[in-house]
Structure 1
Amino acid sequence: MNRKIFQVQHAPFKKKLLEAGIRKHQSVIDDFKKSIKELLGGEGLVNEEEMDLSQQSFNTEQVQKANAIGDQVAFANEEMTLLNNMLPSIEDIHDQVTLGSVVVTENRIFFVSASIEEFEVDGIKVFGLSTQSPLYQEMKGKKKGDKFSFKDNHYTILDLF
């Protein structure tokens, strides 16, 4: 675990985390949209009269894949709304784990916000954790010094802000 986390100014770091998380999440949304566009528009769909059965089957499969990705985009957009709604209060410092908390453990640093793959801010790697995740449910309401377990991993909260 990166010791730099113990030297950061909490409120400004949380703001940077949220801004970086929003950028990373927007990148994921953009990638999903690009995939949909490629599935639906990149194949040069022929007109229906010329389409044989194999082409129809292929197109149906592409549309189904695009719809599945569309569901992921909808979920990602909901999480983006959540992230944007966090902006006004992100610099609040927490004494127990809740939405917007940075939770420092001996294994990993968590940012309770939305599901965001590990990202880096000021040389510190952070994992975005949704309040819907089972791991969050284990740490919810805990305070600095508290311990919790998830699956076969044991954590101690070294810092919380």
Structure 2
Amino acid sequence: MDKLALKKFLIQSESEKAQQSEIEYERYLSDNNSAENDVVDMDAQSHHQESLDIAQKLEEQIHLHERHIEQIKTIDFSPTDLIKPGAIIETANIHLIIATSIPAFTWEGKKYIGLSPQAPLYQCIKDKKVGEKCTYNQTSFDIKAIY
């Protein structure tokens, strides 16, 4: 397994998501740009506040992807035989990347999911080795390989 290629893929993917979030944020702001003096009735004020809330959520998405990029960049992806940040774990159904929380994706024909070191599942599999397993939420994770 080429862990550095996977790391590069993750950074590229998160960068693209950050750029897309920025485009959506800018588009939303330009489509909903109204001066404060234009807000005159309660209904308009309510819509204005709702627009501000949506803009804030879109901005938070940009920052989330930026944090993911920094977390991925700083983690050591060296080969390991112990589950720790930077490890990639192969189970029967999925590959777990111990780095940051990332929704499931496919890379080179295999299904992956990013797992934060703060996640409860990580606490279950932390420091385990090949051949060991852990059960989390009534799901058994048999460690087939660690990269």
TM-score by length of 1: 0.80
- Tell which deviates more after alignment, 16-25 or 53-62: 53-62
Q: CA deviation at 1:76?
A: 2.8
Hey, what does 1:59 align to over in structure 2?
48
1:67-146 correspondence to structure 2 within 5 Å? 67-86=56-75, 89-90=76-77, 92-146=78-132
1:96 positional shift:
0.7
TM-score, structure 2 length as denominator? 0.86
| Structure 2 Cα separation of the partners of residues 51 and 63 of structure 1 | 13
Please list every run of 5 or more consecutive structure 1 residues that lacks an aligned counterpart in the other structure.
1-9
2: CA distance between counterparts of 1:68 and 1:48?
20
Deviation of 1:24 (Å)? 1.8
Identity of aligned residues (%): 23
Aligned length: 146
SS in 2 for 1:128: strand
* Alpha-carbon contact 2:39-2:48 (below 8 Å) kept: no
8 Å CA contact 1:40, 1:63 repeated in 2: no
Higher relative contact order at CA 8 Å, sep ≥6: structure 1 or structure 2? 1
SS of the residue 1:96 aligns to: coil
Q: Distance in 2 between matches of 1:145 and 1:67?
A: 45
CA separation in 2, counterparts of 1:49 and 1:63? Answer: 15
User: Partner amino acid for 2:130?
Assistant: K
